[in-house]
Amino acid sequence: GESVGLHLPTLSVQEGDNSIINCAYSNSASDYFIWYKQESGKGPQFIIDIRSNMDKRQGQRVTVLLNKTVKHLSLQIAATQPGDSAVYFCAERNTGNQFYFGTGTSLTVIP
Amino acid sequence: DTEVTQTPKHLVMGMTNKKSLKCEQHMGHRAMYWYKQKAKKPPELMFVYSYEKLSINESVPSRFSPECPNSSLLNLHLHALQPEDSALYLCASSQDPAGAYEQYFGPGTRLTVT
């Protein structure tokens, strides 16, 4: 399943499928990006980050891709599990060294 | 210990009340933050403390007053709030005030203004 983040804030996927969550960022000068996961009733939790000198970074079951040309960031979750159900936010570090969050995408995993 | 704690978890207050939210971290982080999050919206930055000094105020109304008593503690004093201030208030900390590393978030305080 795939979302376009800012335009489609919800995404439903079958358990075991791969998920792709997209984020369009606004500032071409932003140089550091973070994906956070926020479960209901909890604060955002760090998933993975990427700096602007990289195009791709992999973690455990997650991969972040950065396309600076079109100012686009994506989070790929492999073999999505019910515990992955949450809201996912991308955050960009601006020229003032502070992070600003995107709209978020709500991911629902169907067992 | 990679935890940011916040108290209370829930708070209901009237528009004439004065209350405080508290945040604590013991990771030695030198930057601490307050965010406000409305339902189904992303967190919005309110204040940043860098080395215990207020470095950023994102044009927050004066009815919100932050305080950083020491490097581990961050308070948010609330006075004469409005119902539209009802939200989840998140505290975060980071190793580096320049934003070179990720922020660690607390669970938040759910505030309701009646």
B15 neighbors B112 (Cβ within 8 angstroms)? no
A97, A100, A105: best to mutate for the B interface, most B CBs within 10 A: A97
- Is residue A96 scored above 80 in pLDDT? no
pLDDT per residue over B16-34, tens digit each?
999 999 999 999 999 999 9
Q: Centre a 10 Å sphere on the Cβ of residue A90 and count the other Cβ atoms it contains.
A: 29
pLDDT per residue over A25-82, tens digit each?
888 888 999 999 999 989 999 999 999 999 999 999 999 999 999 999 999 999 999 9
Q: Which residues of A touch B (CB under 8 A)?
A: 32, 34, 36, 41-46, 49, 89, 93, 96-104
How many residues appear in chain B? 114
B58, B60, B90, B103: best to mutate for the A interface, most A CBs within 10 A: B103
Band (pLDDT 50/70/90 cuts) for residue B101 is: confident
Q: Centre a 10 Å sphere on the Cβ of residue B113 and count the other Cβ atoms it contains.
A: 19
DSSP A25: -
Output b/e per residue, A44-79; b: 16+ Cβ within 10 A.
bebbbbbeeeeeeeeeeebbbbbeeeeebbbbbbee
Return the closest-CA partner of residue B34 out of B26, B23, B25: B23
Q: What integer pLDDT is reported at residue A1 of this predicted model?
A: 54
Q: What integer pLDDT is reported at residue B1 of this predicted model?
A: 63
Question: DSSP 3-state assignment of B83?
Answer: helix
- Is residue B112 scored above 70 in pLDDT? yes
Q: Which two tokens stand for residue B37?
A: 């999050």
Contact flag A98-B56 (C-beta cutoff 8 Å): yes
Residue of chain B minimizing CA distance to A9: B40
Return the closest-CA partner of residue B55 out of A27, A101, A98: A98
